[in-house]
Amino acid sequence: MGKHMRCVICDYVYDESIGDQENGVAPGTKWEDVPEDWVCPLCYVGKDHFEEI
């Protein structure tokens, strides 16, 4: 079971086990391996606006 990271702006949750395939992040991609230029698919803020839950 992977880490879950929540966007503090819109509450989108990035789940490492699911990834974000629509935006090029494969299932199983660890949060630290998500590209730095990736943005929240709902509100478009960067990784610095996410916290672990």
36 is in an annotated binding site: no
Question: Residue 17: phi, psi to the nearest 5?
Answer: -75, -20
Asked whether the beta carbons of 27 and 17 are under 8 A apart, the reply is: yes
43 is in an annotated binding site: yes
Asked whether the beta carbons of 25 and 18 are under 8 A apart, the reply is: no
44 is in an annotated binding site: no
7 is in an annotated binding site: yes
Q: Binding site: what residues are annotated?
A: 7, 10, 40, 43
Residues tagged in the binding site annotation for Fe cation: 7, 10, 40, 43
